[in-house]
Amino acid sequence: MEDKQITLQIDHHFVTVQEGTTILEAAQQIGIDIPTLCHIDLKGTCIKNTPASCRICVVEVEGRRNLAPACATKCTEGMVVRTSTLRVMNARKIVAELILSDHPNECLTCPKAGNCDLQNLALRFNIREMPFNGGELSPRKREVTASIVRNMDKCIFCRRCETVCNEVQTVGALGAIRRGFNTTIAPAFDKMMTESECTYCGQCVAVCPVGALTERDHTNRLVEDLADPDKVVIVQTAPAVRAAIGEEFGMQPGTLVTGKMVAALRELGFDYVFDTDFAADLTIMEEGAEMLNRLTRYLDGDRSVRLPILTSCCPAWVNFFEHQFPDLLDIPSTARSPQQMFGSIAKNWWAEKMGIPRERLVVVSIMPCLAKKYECDREEFKTDGNPDVDYSISTRELARLIKRANISFTLLPDMDFDQPLGTSTGAGVIFGATGGVMEAALRTVYELYTGKTLKSVNFQNVRGMSGVRRATVDLDGFELKVGIAHGLGNARHLLEDIRHGRNEYHAIEIMACPGGCIGGGGQPLHHGNSAVLYARANALYREDAGKTLRKSHENPFIKTLYQEYLGKPLSEKAEHLLHTHYFNRSM
């Protein structure tokens, strides 16, 4: 079918677009920025919310009596649109004022201040007073979970979180309940999120335009720990953080700031600055060994082997299958996530080497993720109540802390991670992008399985942004079929297939967030611009390409760790320290 072209006029400019384009999109093409609030369309991912409910984007269309929402009105041939007439500006302002009339006037102490779409609109529309005050605010629920803070007083009912939770992630934890001023967004039966199927993926937080959904903040706790002379405070940083945190300091999306990030963490006063990428390499050793083990048994004719093997690095994904696919608990790899492997190795091997008692050692992680906060709080990752990872700080929180500590991030010199837990290969770095874990595993599994050296370590066919990708890799005659899914809705399709015996894969990588960790719920807000996610992913692949070592099994300190302490992958000690088990948490 040939695409029909349509020409219309917006604010006296002619623009030609494809049939089906909305006025909002057409205006964007010619640099006219119509304000929106409920609308979000993260192009190239499945995140899209277009209820046309807030009416902030209304425009005048010649020949129409009423104002039309630009986000939901399709362009027609010869259409004449005005986006900034007096009538339009007044209507927009009144809509914003009505939304503000049931919104707490707490911008000074709101965690979203400075990053709030509603606050930005109030500024942009020149709202200097509240004409519709007088009524009481509708009281709604507040909740603090391990990962997410819910303050429904601030909710403006854009329904972005509901769409993401139900349509994109298919978790189904959040929905609109009741009506009128009593409406709120909540789990079924108005229960707490902790009593729901919530996976803490944090995508609701990533799209919330206001301060209704935010992260659980641990920065104050961290400031106190750093000031405590009796404590040794060490930090691990996830791969996706270095590709995004620069944005918080005005740098272009996709600017790699690994060295500055390390320098900032030293400035903050961490005793040792380590890298989760080290643990990512370790994950590949364990998960790769598990994969090889299952594959060789399968190829030897053992049909009791459970295939495909699924990755288990993503804690929201783990929560998802524990809630929704309890019949498949034996399929995912038992390998802990890199965050937890790091904590376990730091509080055992490293602490023993350094002679630091467990209770004096504080392990902090910097993560692009909110589910990581929940993960490190899980009972199975504690020894006598002391967690392997004490707490997790999101990329956004770290940026706030750096500003609070008067550090001029952009002026910092580049510094290197400490040893031994700071050395990583390129394979560890790409964990942060969808497909990266699979690519890292392939690099190691190929070489261990075939005994040959890879000609090129780049597996281009597992990279990219489409929701589900499949690839076949030739392991010396054996066709290894791998799948990659990001976004829990995409993962669900694959899992339903497995549940119904329609599986075509040997191994599948799953990440809960669109784009993988680079699009995590703890990252700097993308404000609906998916170019940001592409830039971050490319940054990680650039960092990988620039590394001398790009295969996990070549990491010299990983070799030392196995020689000195663990023996070999899947040894008794490795099983004890680096593997976990899953629980049936169906509701």
Partner 1 sequence: MPDIKLPCDVADKVTEICARHGNDPGELINILHEAQHLLGYLPEEMQRIIARNLNIPVSKVYGVVTFYAFFTMTAKGKYPISVCMGTACYVRGSERLLEEFKRVLGIDVGQTTPDGKFSLDCLRCVGACGLAPVVMIGDKVYGRLQPIDVKRILDELE
Stretch that binds partner 1, among 36-44, 145-153, 186-194, 349-357 (CB under 8 A): 186-194
- The dihedrals phi and psi of 300, each to the nearest 5 degrees, come to -80, 5
User: How far apart, in whole angstroms, are the C-alpha atoms of residue 155 and residue 566?
Assistant: 50
Q: Which residues pair with 517 in a beta bridge?
A: none
The residue annotated as part of the active site, out of 25, 60, 162, 375, is: 375
Residue 333 annotated to the active site: yes
As to burial, measured by CB atoms within 10 angstroms (0-12 exposed, 13-18 middle, 19+ buried), residue 138 is middle
Residue 372 annotated to the active site: yes
Stretch that binds partner 1, among 89-97, 176-184, 241-249, 438-446 (CB under 8 A): 176-184
Stretch that binds partner 1, among 68-76, 175-183, 369-377, 516-524 (CB under 8 A): 175-183
Query: Which residue from 50, 53, 138, 166 is in contact with partner 1, where contact means CB under 8 A?
Result: 166
The verdict on 192 binding partner 1 (CB under 8 A) reads no
- CA angle, corner 515, sides to 277 and 547, nearest 5? 35
3-state secondary structure 390-431: CEEEEHHHHHHHHHHCCCCHHHCCCCCCCCCCCCCCHHHHHH
H helices within 421-563, ranges in order?
426-429, 436-450, 488-499, 531-545, 556-561
Residue 247 annotated to the active site: no
The verdict on 14 binding partner 1 (CB under 8 A) reads no
Query: Which residue from 44, 111, 172, 464 is in contact with partner 1, where contact means CB under 8 A?
Result: 172
Written as six digits, the tokens of 100 are 């503000």
Query: Which residue from 52, 177, 223, 305 is in contact with partner 1, where contact means CB under 8 A?
Result: 177
Query: Which residue from 142, 178, 306, 542 is in contact with partner 1, where contact means CB under 8 A?
Result: 178
User: How far apart, in whole angstroms, are the C-alpha atoms of residue 175 and residue 197?
Assistant: 12
Q: Tell me, what DSSP letter sits at residue 469?
A: E
Residue 517 annotated to the active site: yes
Nearest CA to 289 out of 447, 502, 485, 465 is that of 447
Residue 380 annotated to the active site: yes
The verdict on 328 binding partner 1 (CB under 8 A) reads no
Residue 375 annotated to the active site: yes
User: How far apart, in whole angstroms, are the C-alpha atoms of residue 33 and residue 309?
Assistant: 46
Tell me whether residue 166 or residue 450 sits nearer to partner 1 (CB atom): 166
| Count of residues in contact with partner 1, rule CB under 8 A | 18
The verdict on 188 binding partner 1 (CB under 8 A) reads yes
The verdict on 51 binding partner 1 (CB under 8 A) reads no
Query: Which residue from 149, 174, 314, 465 is in contact with partner 1, where contact means CB under 8 A?
Result: 174
The verdict on 179 binding partner 1 (CB under 8 A) reads yes
Tell me whether residue 197 or residue 247 sits nearer to partner 1 (CB atom): 197
Tell me whether residue 100 or residue 165 sits nearer to partner 1 (CB atom): 165
The verdict on 512 binding partner 1 (CB under 8 A) reads no
As to burial, measured by CB atoms within 10 angstroms (0-12 exposed, 13-18 middle, 19+ buried), residue 161 is buried
Which residue numbers are catalytic?
287, 290, 313, 333, 372, 375, 380, 517
Chain residues that interact with partner 1, rule: CB under 8 A: 166, 171-179, 186-190, 196-197, 587
